[in-house]
Each structure stands twice: as C-alpha cells, then as structure tokens.
Amino acid sequence: MKFSDCLKMAFSDLGRRKIRTVLTSFGIAIGAMLVVLMSGFGQGIQKIAMDQIKQMDTMRIIQVKPEQNSSKNSKQNKSEFKKIDNTVLDKFKGMKNVEEVSASIDTQIQEVFINGKEISEVNVKGSNLELPIFLNSQQNEIKLDKKKSKKYGYKPIIAGEVIKQGDEDSVLLGQGLADKAGIKDYKSIIGKNIEMRVYLPSIPGLPEKEPLIINAKVSGVVNKNYDNGKNVITASSKTAAKIQQYYTEEENYMEEKGYNNISVEVNTTEGVEGVDSSIKKMGYVTNSQVESTKTLKTMMTIIKALLTAAGIVVLLVASIGVINTMTMAVYEKTKSIGIMKAQGASRNNISRMFTVQAGSLGFIGGLFGGITALVLGFVINRIVVVYNIGGIQPGMKIIDVNISVFVFTLLFTILVSVAAGMVPARRASKLNPVDSLRNE
C-alpha cells in the first residue's frame, strides 16, 4: 500500500468522524500552540533584555583595581597591591578597541568651607587631568535617560567649565555639595575660593599632627546625575595625592601608590570581553559586566527551555487522546482489517495505514496550533506596544517566534502523534483475519 493511498484513507476516515477528530486535534493544537508561544515568549524577553543591556552605554566600561590577579591569591581570598601609574595607563590606552581611559585617586577630607558654610566628611576625586574626567559612555547613558536629563540636562558641567591640565589649584563642586552649601545660583560660586581641611583625630599620649589646609578655586559645578555631582569635590590627582600623603606619611605617594580608581572605556560592548581578558593577563583585577551578561544569557536560556518544556508536557498529555482515538479506529475497522488481510495486505501495510492516520491527526493539530500561536503572538505584541506595557516600545516583540520553532513544533507534533499511534497500529497489524471477519 502506497503512502499516498494511506494518506487518502486517513483523511477520509478522519472526515467521517468529525467530532472525534476535532476534539483530538484540539488537544494536540493546544499543546502545539503553547510550545510555540512559550518558546516565542522566552525568545522575546531574552532579546529585549539583551538589547536593553546593549543600550546601556556604561556596559562598555571596565573598572580596574590596583590589585594582583592570581589564582594563589584567590584561593586564599587575599589580594596584593599592584600599582597602576601613568605607564600602565598608556598600555591600557594602547589596547585594541579601547576608546578612552580615566584615572583618579579617591580620598576624603574632614571639612570644607564653601561660601562661608562648613560641610563635614566630603569625598575628593583626584583626577588625572591628562585624561578625561567624564567618559562618553556615561554622558550617552544619561542623555538616553529622559527622566534623569529632564531637569539638569545630560552635560556634566552645569555651570563654569571643567578643570584641565595645568589647573591643579582648581576644583569642581558636585551639585549636591553646592546645594548643601545653600548655593541657589551655581554660577555665583564660579571663581570663588574654598578651603579644604584635612586632619587626624587626636590620640591621648601622641603628639597632634598639624592639619593640612588646601585652598582652591571653583572652576565649575558638576551635574548631580553624575557620581562626581553628589557630595564630591573633583580635584587634580596632585591635590588628592597630597591628601593621601598626609594620611599615610609617604613622601612620594603618586610614585609609590599610583591611582586607585581606573575606568577603561571600550568602543563597543562586543569588545569588552577581549579588553577585559587583556587587562587580566597583565595581572590586574577587573570588574565589568561581561560575567553578568553571560549569567543573564544563561538564565534567559533556562527560562526559555522551561517555558518550552511546559508546552511539550501539554503536548505529550494530548498524545493520550491520540492513543484513545486510534484504539477506537482499530476497533471500528476490525472487519475491514480482516478483509484487507484476506486480500493479501501485509502487517506492515495495516500498521502503516493507522500510523499515517495518527500522524495526520498530529499534522492537523500542530498546524492549527502553530498558526493560532502566530496570530496570538502578533495580537499580543500589538497590544503590549499600543498600551506601552512594561516599557515595550515599537519594534520590540514580547513574543518573538522564529519560523524554525514553528516548523520544529509541527514536526515534533507529528512525531509524538505517530509514536502515540504505534501501539494501536501494531495491535491492528496482529489481528487474525478470520477473527476480524467474524467481528460485527
């Protein structure tokens, strides 16, 4: 018996028992629809998450610590100091895909007098003025965040100008610090002098150390959307080294310790992993979003697999209906089987006939379920965009169905149905012709 003859007979039998065919196919369709929808949903949220990560420009920044990167230290959970000076910074800048580098000595002062007001415990960021204080990626991310940039804009300096090489005696005030000093008009503080005081607490029995007093001129005010714009004074690395030298009593702090806060900006997010690896090979500890991104991808893949598995479980449950339907079909065609065997039909012919019929049920259910999933996915995507649910914007798909998933689901549905129909088909092929002809 040819496959085409089996196919014609299968659809003829299914057409004669419409209600049973519809109910069985409906169960298969539900499973197929869920497989396609759940897989598409997992693919959609994964793609949206990764696209949003790529839009975060600060993902291009690698933080480098002045610490030794070695397996020995990691086992002992200890870190050894590894200096980062101007020579090392030049090596970072010379790496492939590196766009820019910024470096600073971060420290703290006890008091600062601004506009006649005393403010305690202020952070100082001593930047290398040969390098940019504000990286492009930071500015781009704030520019894209409309809520952040609505009031003060995205530019780092909201009054005055940035300090440059040669402005070692000038500083930038964070907007938050200026607010603490009661300054309403930020331009009014530009060109004014501030006094920074550094001292150590007095300890009984030990001589008191004279406080370090540093006078500086305000060159500009930093937007509070930036880290430098909070309770921070941005100064030169020379000024910060002087403060650290006071604390540590090291005469040549910059030569001995170098910088303690380094940011390496890569030109693309794709290039971050390579630069991160190169810096680690130099022996430094790094902190980037590379591992976080990998972890997120893994989690999204797991979620996608679990969602798809849920649909497959429903599909497997629906296969029980195929077994039931095919068992009934065998029972109803017992006499016909006897006649076919009496006319010379082999076991394989009988088995193939019922297997094709089971596969046809899977094809009908899988096709209907897949098409329904595509339509529902399109409708859901439209609704989500129109009502801006979850911040989904035009062009994004919360349900992203690949044609390969549709084809795989259809083939898998047919395969499951064929597998479910094999038991009744084998039973039909083993029926005795004489016993079959006696059946009423």
The answer, yes or no, to whether residue 74 has pLDDT greater than 50, is no
pLDDT at residue number 242: 95
- The whole-angstrom separation of Cα 245 and Cα 251 is 6
Length, in residues, of the chain: 440
* Residue ranges per structural domain of the chain: 3-54+295-438, 83-282
pLDDT at residue 359, rounded to an integer: 87
Which of 159, 131, 156, 132 has the alpha carbon at shortest distance from 142? Answer: 156
Q: Each residue of 241-289: pLDDT tens digit?
A: 999 999 998 888 999 999 999 999 999 888 898 999 999 999 999 988 7
Residue 109 contacts residue 196 (beta carbons within 8 Å)? yes
pLDDT band at residue 420 under the 50/70/90 scheme: confident
Residue 272 structure tokens: 């971050």
Residue 430 contacts residue 345 (beta carbons within 8 Å): no
> With 50 as the cut, is the pLDDT of residue 347 above it?
yes
Q: Express as a percent the part of the chain with pLDDT over 90.
A: 44
Res 343: pLDDT: 66
Position 374 confidence tier, pLDDT thresholds 50, 70, 90: very high
- Which residues, 6+ apart, have CB-to-CB distance to 311 below 8 Å? 31, 32, 33, 34, 35, 36, 37, 38, 39
